[in-house]
Structure 1
Amino acid sequence: MRNTEGSVETYNWQYFGDTCEDAESAHEESDDEDDLDVTPGKRKRKKREWIVEEATISQFLHKCLKSPTPCCRDRCVTKFTPEKIKACRHDLWDRRDFEQRGQFILDSLKSADRRGDGQATISHLNCQGHRVCQKAWYLLYGVSHGSFYNYVGKLKKGQTTAHHNSTGTLRRTPQYFLAHAWLRHFADFFGDKMPDNIAIHLPASMTRDAVYERYMEKMAETHQKTVGKSTFMTMWREDLSGVKIPKTNRFSKCDVCQDLRKAVREAATAERREQIKSDLQLHFKQQKQERQVYWGKAMSSLHDPTDKLSIIIDGMDQSKTALPHFMQATKESEKWKLRTHITGVLVHTLGVGYAFIDNLRWPHDSNLTCTVLLATLRKVAKSYNNRLPGTLYLQMDNCWRECKNQYVFAFLGLLVLRGIFKEVQVGYLLVGHTHEDVDQFFSRVAEKLRKRDATTVEELVDVIEKSFPNVEGEELDAVLDVKDYMGDVCNHLEQHSCPHQYRFTTGLDSKLIVEYKNFGVDEEWKLPRRDEVRLVERLPPAGARPSLVKPRTERLELKQFETGVSTLWQTGKLTSRQKGALDRYITKQAQSLEVQERREEDILDMLWPERDMEAWATERPVPAPTFSQQERQRIESLYKSFNKSKKTSEPTLRRKRRPKSKP
């Protein structure tokens, strides 16, 4: 055989000390130990280590010689000695960085690119001074087929710099995601959802270190791997920045939290400090369980919607919804405002919400709460074919003026006495820990108002309905005087502010029974002292209805507001259409008392639907049938068609034959 310059046609197969057969058999014998790296406890070797080994190159050349076309018709790859192949591979794989190896491949492709000279593709590349085909090049350098053509594609797209697809991204561990999920769950149960922004506030008495300690304790209980403290804090800061620990609670404060926090600061010994911290953790656990009771009732209504109805009612901070509202407020635009208030209602059972807007013409007291509740029941009944479930779970705020007073309780008792509900349970979360899903609804509205103007009531309703799914907004034009209506038939209820759960049912004598629990997690319901005195002694006279609360339009300062609207229109802040809508609204408010007196009966028919209330007490929703009649007939025909041995699906009794008794 003759050698020519620049090519090698014969090989010294004793180069590695073995014949080709010996090399192959030796390699096969060592597969399990060296190349596949499956020996227990042995470190998995990287490609840059074994790709340059002599045994690997020997096996590669042997396979190439056995193939008639290892790369192309010219058999480029067989023209290289093992020494040159080893030099090629060292040239590439001694570059330890992935991007450096990628750049080497791209540079080689770029130097061989002749497409600008009329060549259709990159057909040949340079390897150790020799011109070889594409396949020979990537085989000689030990590059995989996929990686090579991946770089070919990048070059065709104009990319001349190599970079890893995941460069700059962090690879999160399973314990990182577990810590993330734990903190979200912890915030959901221990935090309060803010009504004016998308944030969850943990109790002010907590610290981030204490939260991390709780995380470590919970993971230790289940023997889970944990993340370090710095990783945990970074995750909290970057991924869950909405979970905050305020210096002080912005809204109602929990006296227990405040007192225990103060006691921790004033503790004289470490032992006393740890004891108080333990009490604080117990308090946090308690408020978490109270939330679980609330959500348990909501979930119960989802599982049995024909028998249980879950509703939460709360009010939104009125400073956020004053009209006209401008996304970019100015000193002039903030001068002229008409205060409005939103009472939000979420019906968990149906997955819908309602927003009732009023402009402070009426006091925010039990009359407003009862009117909103009755309006909600009217809307809910439409979904049940003018019926209502037998049990009502009602969640409200601890405010005594609007929600936690004898008139609201008497109205709930009236609903039970009239048979509209068989049972009503009303719950209150711990003071300072009351912000829940309805406040999340308010935060969505506030967030939307930061990005949109709402100059009229119609625009405000549009913002509300677009800020949360399945929400219906409407203006409240009248309020029932429930306090006066119930005043003659109800007794006084005292010392009722401490318990957090109340239940209203009727006894065997059809009299109203009021029971309470100090906390939702308590097992037994208790009767109030002197329970022989009924909260509601009797029903109001037949045909009697509440009157309407007279609107106090003087509180609106309509003259000043009208002047402000004109000023804003003249300065270009309001369009002619918006000014016209506000002018009509001002006229409507000014005439509200007159209209109410003239149309009182019609308004009462709408707010106090006597016939509907009688229907609610008569029938309950019927669970939807699993199969329709048509589906049942199809099922029956299936059995007749495919179960030929069964002539009928109706069971038949046949008298058993008994032997005649002998005389």
Structure 2
Amino acid sequence: MSQKDRKEYFVKDLLKNSFRSEDKFDFKYFLGKKQVCFKFYYMAYGISYGYLHDCRTRVLEGRHTFVHGLTYEENNHKISLKRESVVAWIKKYADEYGQPQPDKAEIHLSDGLTIEELWDEYIEGLRENEESKKISLSYFYKVFDEDCSSWLKIPSVNRFSQCDVCASFKLLKEGLTKSQKAQYNGPLNKHLAIARAERQKFYKHGRKANMTKSIAMNKTWHKYASVIIDGMTQWTTRLPHFRRIPKHLDSKDFLDVHNMGSMIENAGRFMDFNYANFKDDANFLVNVLHRDILRIQEHRRNGDGENSYPMPEVLYVQLDNVSTNKSKLMLAYSTQLGWFTRTSFAR
């Protein structure tokens, strides 16, 4: 018996006498019809502890058979191809449903997801002619940990504000069994796909208006301007600011300070404050947007120091989906931006 046939014999023997208990394999060892312990099994067959342990690992990872005619290294290469297909699927899934982080080279999946649910989707997505790509849950864990954990995360809590739909799905899945959770995966992925399409639209607008990114692709960046505007909760910006508010102070003792941040492609990042001169509603938003347009105008006028840049033809504005940002005043102001051929608002 060749070395390859010998190892295949032990792998199949372990597979025949073992069964899966939840997510783990329960290994049993037999000599004939008599069950023995792990140590007695490998000593009786005259093999080493490491040899039998490698056979167990192959069972756990789904490497049950050897392709005859190939060397031991070539068989392992076939396993590496299976691993590569799993990594490629995870990367595609992360690209479709993940959320890139702005301050680090990481992608975060939904905080309501588990690796087991990810494995279920991988298995269910395999076609009939792709049985060779099927792997065990333990091997999927291993691939995720060794090849993807450095750049792909499943956070316990979302770093950023979470939409109501995602939060609702997370609450619905709490305390349910695996089969019960599966019924929510389809609608959740559909929602995440829509959110991804919105992000891609946002990134596309940013790239079109960015000097350094657009010049490599085309020289039409000057036709576009992209602005993102967002405000902060008034409670966090009141003055004076105390780490712990003294009990004797009343809310009337504080000065309400409203602030709103703007990120303008090429021009920079800005923060606008106001006190009682503008109410924290559409009036303040229109005021900030008008200032941002003046900043764009100043940046284009200054240019590269020698030559000025032309004013953009299209203005992209990214705002939160709140009533203030969709008010009549905001819409009326946008109709007066006659120097832009098109003004696009996105939530």
> For residues 299 and 260 of structure 2, what CA distance do their matches in structure 1 show?
21
Q: Quick check: 1:394 aligned with 2:317?
A: yes
- Quick check: which one's helix share is greater? 2
Q: Aligned in 2, Cα 1:184/1:194: closer, same or farther, shift over 3 Å?
A: farther
Residue in 2 that maps onto 1:278: 186
Please point out which of 422, 432, 443 is paired with 2:341.
422
Select the residue among 210, 225, 229 that pairs with 2:141.
Answer: 229
Larger Rg: 1
Q: Pick the aligned partner of 1:343 from 260, 264, 269.
A: 260
99, 117, 126: which one pairs with 1:210? 117
1:413 maps to 335
CA distance in 2: counterparts of 1:274 and 1:347, whole angstroms = 42
Deviations 1:397-423 (A, max 9, x none): 01112x1222211211121xxx21111
Letter of the 1:382 counterpart: E
**1:218-617 matched pairs, under 5 angstroms:** 228-230=140-142, 232-233=144-145, 239=150, 244-246=155-157, 251=161, 253-255=163-165, 257-258=166-167, 260=169, 270=179, 274-302=182-210, 303=214, 304-323=220-239, 329=243, 338-348=255-265, 350=266, 352-359=268-275, 362-385=278-301, 388-401=311-324, 403-415=325-337, 419-428=338-347
Instruction: Return 5+ residue gaps in structure 1 as ranges.
Output: 1-172, 429-663
Provide the C-alpha distance between the structure 1 equivalents of 2:248 and 2:121, rounded to a whole number of angstroms. 46
Compared CA separation, residues 406 and 266, structure 1 to 2 (3 A): farther
Q: Take 2:155 and 2:177, find their aligned partners in 1: how far apart are those partners?
A: 29
Q: Confirm or deny: 8 A CA contact 2:97 2:192 kept in the other structure.
A: no
* Aligned 8 A contact 1:321 1:341 in 2: yes
Distance 2:112 2:223 in 1: 40
1:376 is displaced (CA, Å) by 0.7
Alpha-carbon offset, residue 362 of structure 1 = 3.3
Using structure 2 for the length normalisation, give the TM-score.
0.52
* Contact preservation (8 Å) 1:187, 1:202: no
Task: Give the Cα separation in 1 of the matches to 2:108 and 2:185.
Answer: 19
Structure 2 distance, partners of 1:380, 1:331, is 40
Contact 2:108-2:152 at 8 Å conserved across structures: no
Identity of aligned residues (%): 20
Instruction: For 1:358, give the aligned amino acid.
Output: N
- What CA deviation, in whole Å up to 9, does each residue of 1:150-174 have, x standing for no partner? xxxxxxxxxxxxxxxxxxxxxxx99
Structure 2 counterpart of 1:190 = 98
- Equivalent residues in 2 for 1:115-194 (5 A)? 186=94, 190-191=98-99
Per-residue CA deviation, residues 207-259 of structure 1 (Å, 9 max, x unaligned), is 343345567889999x999974045247777x46976242x89846323x455
Cα distance in 1 for partners of 2:236, 2:96 equals 25
CA–CA separation in structure 1 for the residues paired with 2:208 and 2:162 = 29
* Equivalent residue number for residue 46 of structure 2: none
- Mapped to 1, the partners of 2:148 and 2:114 lie a distance apart of 13
SS at match of 1:357: strand
> Contact between 2:227 and 2:263, CA under 8 Å: does it hold in 1?
yes
Equivalent pair of 1:207/1:245 in contact (CA under 8 Å): no
Question: Do the aligned partners of residues 359 and 388 (structure 1) sit closer, same or farther apart at CA in structure 2, a change above 3 Å counting?
Answer: same
TM-score by structure 1 length?
A: 0.30
- Write out per-residue CA displacement over residues 506-526 of structure 1, whole angstroms, 9 at most, x where no aligned residue: xxxxxxxxxxxxxxxxxxxxx
User: What residue identity is the alignment partner of 1:316?
Assistant: M
Kindly provide the amino acid, as one letter, of the partner of residue 296 in structure 1. K
How far apart, in 1, do the equivalents of 2:268 and 2:92 lie? 25
C-alpha distance in 1 between matches for 2:110 and 2:178? 24
CA deviations 1:607-634 (Å, max 9, x no partner) are: xxxxxxxxxxxxxxxxxxxxxxxxxxxx
From the two aligned structures, give the one with the greater strand fraction: 2
Measure the CA separation in 1 of the matches of 2:256 and 2:327: 26
Q: Structure 1 361/351 Cα, relative in aligned 2: closer, same or farther at 3 Å? A: closer
Structure-2 separation of matches of 1:334 and 1:313:
36
The verdict on how the C-alpha distance between 1:367 and 1:230 changes in structure 2, with shifts beyond 3 A counting, is same
* Structure 2 unmatched runs, 5+: 1-79, 215-219, 303-309
Q: Could you tell me which amino acid in structure 2 is paired with residue 253 of structure 1?
A: C
User: Deviation at 1:310?
Assistant: 1.2
How many positions carry a matched residue from both structures?
242
State how far apart, in whole Å, the 2-side matches of 1:219 and 1:207 are.
Answer: 19
Corresponding letter in the other structure for 1:383: H
Distance change >3 Å, CA 330–CA 231, structure 1 → 2: farther
Shift in alpha-carbon separation, 1:186–1:199, aligned structure 2, 3 A = closer
**Equivalent-residue separation in structure 1 for 2:279 and 2:124 (angstroms):** 49
Q: By how many angstroms is 1:325 displaced?
A: 5.4
8 Å CA contact 1:187, 1:243 repeated in 2: no
> 1:283-304, CA deviations, whole angstroms, 9 ceiling, x for partnerless residues?
2112111111111122222332
Deviation at 1:366, TM superposition (A): 0.9
Residues 427, 374 of structure 1: CA spacing in aligned structure 2 closer, same or farther, 3 A cutoff? same
The answer on whether the counterparts of 1:267 and 1:273 sit within 8 Å (CA) in structure 2 is yes
- 3-state secondary structure, aligned to 2:228: strand
- Cα distance change on mapping 1:354 and 1:242 into 2, 3 Å: farther
